[in-house]
A and B are shown apart, each in its own frame.
Chain A
Amino acid sequence: MPVNETLSTYSDWTYGAAVSVYFVAAVFYLCEAAFGRTKARELVGAAKVAGTAEDGTWTPGLVVRHERSRAEKLGRMGVALTVLGALLQLSSLVLRGFATERAPWGNMYEYGSLLTFAAVATWLVLMRTFPVRKLGGFVLVPVVILMFLGGTVLYAEAAPVQPALQSYWLVVHVSVISVSSGILLVPGVTSVLYLLKSSGRARFAKLPDADVLDRVAYRSTVFSFPLFTIGIICGAIWAEAAWGRFWGWDPKETVAFVCWVVYAAYLHARATAGWRGRPAAWINALGFALNVFNLFFINLVTTGLHSYAGVG
């Protein structure tokens, strides 16, 4: 199975371009967040919409319109750049797929790219529904860091994968797990912001309402948790065929299980009096920390069967 060098080089270039573009976008967002006016835009809560039947505005939305400030213009450029970066990253993934003639998520570099792409895409979708644009920087910074590490420390030449990975379950299991982990980056970040905002310190007054942050976190978690579950179960089905048992407490399996339990605890906490709000946000942040731990530490430090790191 030869590797198409030209395509793989283009793939590397677009990857590099995507990281750079994200970086600039992150700077723009952060400028907006730093210099934009507090409460420049107001979210009208759903409850207040009631009674405005006559003028026909039924959906909750932005009602206070005003001249676009310079900060806001920066933010809009940030969005445009994010879209550009996402397209570049998508091309990088597709090119690598064609270069190697397999699904482009066979080692940690590729897996990390898919993961961060999913995080960015989720964020782009959420920005349309929730007034959280200026938080883009907080999402893009971890994305840029992860992509930078992926492109340097963890980088692996385009190559075919080892026999254990030559299975269509690679396509299903790894893609589902990395996409769902990527989506979980968003609630991880927003939960941390929630914790900052609800700490009540003046420094964090510019962040959107805690309620909005909580809803963004919940929505994205609820979307991603079933996916994550499917990913784990596909992993078990694959392990049954590849390793002789569907569950064997391999370090990676174990930490995935722990993550799963933590997110289940998050969903329960949100439905339990006394655990809503800050405790739930802590749990969500912990879940994401564990996910990253699983991606890096477990692959690089412990020796398990999940030996697709492609490094060392």
Chain B
Amino acid sequence: MKAFLAFLRNTWRGLTAMRTALTLLFLLALGAMPGALLPQRSLNAQKVAEYIAENGWWGRFLDRLQFYDVYASYWFSAVYVLLFVSLVGCLLPRTWDYYKQMRAKPVLTPRNLSRLPHHATAELAASPEAVMASAKARLKGWRLVEREEADGARSVSAERGYLRETGNLVFHFSLLGLLVAFALGKMVGYEGQVIVQSKGGQFCNSGVFNFDSFRPGLRVDGTQLSPFCVRVNDFHATYLHNGQAQSFRADIDYQSGEDLETGTWRPYPLEVNSPLRTAGDRVYLLGHGYTPIFTVKFPNGETRTGTTQWRPVNEVTLASEGATKFDPPGITDTEQRRKNQLAITGLLAPTAGFRGELLDSVFPEARDPAVAIDVYRGDLGTDSGRGQSIFSIDEKQVQDGKLTKVARQNLRQGEELELDDGTVIKFEGVKDWVSLQVSHDPTQVWVLAFSVLVILGLGVSLSVKRRRVWVRAVPAADGRTVVEVGGLARTDQAGYGEEFGSLARDLLEKEK
């Protein structure tokens, strides 16, 4: 009775645990979905803003519920933490059971073998002892135990496929390990992006401010970045006729470790799919674009060259927009200086195609670069305290009349334009820039290791079958022996039939 109650309690516990886990699995799946359907801040903050603006209260409501940061939201975290706890809660007892099972003997032979899903019987001339001996020989590789029963009967119970449970535990524990490593990576990792000009532009991973954007893990304050430097010498891209990119390569030099002290640069061809791995970090080639080169000859005779990167607005033709800004030289009075700042904005086409006066780009390669520019003069607003974008001018300054358009013209490479005050602007051509990403995630090798274990565990636990077979030899009246074989697959029955068939045939027919 007591045993029965314990059995009930255990079964109940097992069932609830499994059900909870199932429910949580569903919640996890359900909770992850909005992240694929709604724009996410971590992927594209601008899209999120647009979406909220378009959807009014509904958009704001979703924001309140963290639907644009699904994977960092409280509810998503709650589900996976619960799943984690539930997983631990069911793995511990299972591990203990596993340990006990590995030491236990195969279970007693059931009284009535004919009730098992697999069963066969025959009468043989051999003695029970001989039957047992041949059964044991045939069941090599099985864990087995021979027992004597009443009335001179003997039986063997054998079991095989313990690896299934081993695989299963490996799988589940590796899953835990993977989750932990993943979470740790999110804590101590960082990711930063930076645009570097070709033909000698440099970047050093020495501080957060060297990046254009930086995303630190929760425990990263930005003071302990892995030290290395990168110099971009050249950039090559090849395209198909239709403008589809075929290859990108940035020829870079890098320094890390001792090289930083000795000043040695080492070359590396940085390509998509082949990041530079150095100092424990990775450097990726994320994208590229063009920098128009403008020289401005000011009325006082001084010249300045502007090389500010413009950003592509068309991913296929690489038509780009931007703003190249100049401070007038030789003016010390801030008030005066502010009235005479210059900005060149507009469109840059790496390969120009004109429709009348309208410039557009027809190909992503810089074959025949041209710009369609507006030139502004006045106060750029750099001292206004408002955040300034390097890709555009401050529209507010234009509205306030502090910045006025003084020219608008198309320029091909080498062409010039003269402003009313005698300033000459020349479009010299373009050079490439590349956008690089630096990533730091010291735990990702652990994630990989656990993933491999997950696969191995899964493969074993799904392919190995836990199965049992029993052989009983009962002396019959005429000196012969009745041999019964019974089999039971503990998991999926399919496929056991054949193995059992051949086993039973060997045991029952050999001595006929």
Per the 8 Å Cβ criterion, residues 1-56 of A in contact with B are: 1, 46-47, 49-51, 53, 56
Residues of B within 8 A of A (CB): 15, 18-19, 21-22, 25-26, 28-29, 32-33, 35-37, 40, 42-43, 70-71, 114, 117-122, 182, 191, 240, 244-248, 271-275, 282, 284, 286, 437, 439, 441, 444, 447-448, 451-452, 454-455, 458-459, 462, 491-494, 496-498, 501-502, 504-505, 508-509
Q: Which of A46, A160, A242, A249 contacts B240 (CB 8 A)?
A: A160
- The answer to whether B247 and A163 have CB atoms under 8 Å apart is yes
Pick the contact of A265: B29, B274, B505 (CB < 8 A). Answer: B29
B26, B29, B40, B248 pick with most chain A CB within 10 angstroms? B29
In the complex, A226 Cα to B168 Cα: how many Å? 13
Digitize A194-233: 1 where CB-to-B-CB distance is under 8 Å, 0 elsewhere. 0000000000000000000001001100100110011001
Stretch at the interface among A72-80, A114-122, A255-263: A255-263
Decide if B25 touches A268 in the complex (CB within 8 Å): yes
User: Do A302 and B36 touch (CB < 8 A)?
Assistant: yes
Number of interface residues of A (CB under 8 A): 60
* Distance of A193 from chain B, by nearest CB (Å): 17
Interface stretch among A92-100, A138-146, A270-278?
A270-278
Residues in B neighbouring A222, C-beta threshold 8 A: 462, 492
Chain A residues near B274 (CB-CB < 8 A): 241
Q: Are A242 and B501 touching (Cβ within 8 A)?
A: no
- How many angstroms between the C-alpha atoms of A265 and B23 in the bound complex? 9
6 contacting pairs across A/B (C-beta < 8 A): A215-B492, A243-B284, A244-B275, A245-B439, A251-B37, A255-B33
Determine how close the nearest CB of chain B comes to the CB of A306; give it in whole angstroms: 11
Q: Are A273 and B15 in contact (CB under 8 A)?
A: yes
Spell out A's residues near B (CB within 8 Å).
1, 46-47, 49-51, 53, 56, 58-60, 159-160, 162-164, 166-167, 169, 215, 218-219, 222, 225-226, 229-230, 233, 236-237, 240-252, 254-255, 257-258, 261-262, 264-265, 268-269, 271-275, 298, 302
List A contacts of B504 (CB < 8 A). 53, 58
Which listed residue, A167, A218, A269, A302, touches B273 by the CB 8 Å rule?
Answer: A167
- B273 near A166 with CB under 8 A, answer yes
A53 touches B286 (CB 8 A): no
Which residue from chain A places its CB closest to the CB of B21 in the assembled complex?
Answer: A268
Contact B497 A261 (CB under 8 A): no
Are A242 and B117 CB-contacts (below 8 A) given A46-B497, A264-B25, A275-B22? no
B contact residues around A236 at 8 Å (CB):
451
A47 and B462 contact, Cβ closer than 8 Å, known pairs A53-B509, A240-B444, A258-B29: no
Chain B, Cβ-Cβ closest to A233: B451
Please determine whether A162 and B245 come into contact, CB atoms closer than 8 angstroms. yes
Which of A242, A261, A302 makes the CB contact (< 8 A) with B28?
Answer: A261
Cβ-defined partner of B459 (8 Å) among A46, A58, A226: A226
Chain A neighbourhood of B447, CB < 8 A: 246
> Once the chains are docked, how many angstroms separate the CA of A58 from the CA of B245?
61
Docked-complex contact A261 and B36, CB < 8 angstroms:
no
Contact between A59 and B32, CB atoms less than 8 A apart: no
Closest residue of chain A to B487, judged by CB?
A50
Q: Decide: A249 and B455 in contact? CB cutoff 8 A.
A: no
Q: Check B29 against A261 for contact (C-beta < 8 Å).
A: yes
Assembled-state Cα–Cα distance A115/B150 (Å): 60
Residue pair A49, B501 in contact (C-beta under 8 Å):
yes
Q: Which residue of A lies closest to B437 (CB)?
A: A244
Structural contact, A59 and B191, CB atoms closer than 8 A: no
| With A46-B117, A163-B247, A265-B26 as contacts: A244 and B439 at CB distance below 8 Å | yes
Q: With A241-B275, A246-B444 known to touch, is A51 a contact of B15 (CB < 8 Å)?
A: no
Q: Is the CB of A272 within 8 A of B18?
A: yes
User: Which residues of A have CB within 8 Å of B22?
Assistant: 265, 268-269, 272, 275
B492 surroundings in chain A (CB, below 8 A)? 215, 218, 222
Instruction: Give Cα distance in the complex from A49 to B452, angstroms.
Output: 41
Minimum distance in angstroms from B464 CB to a CB of chain A: 11
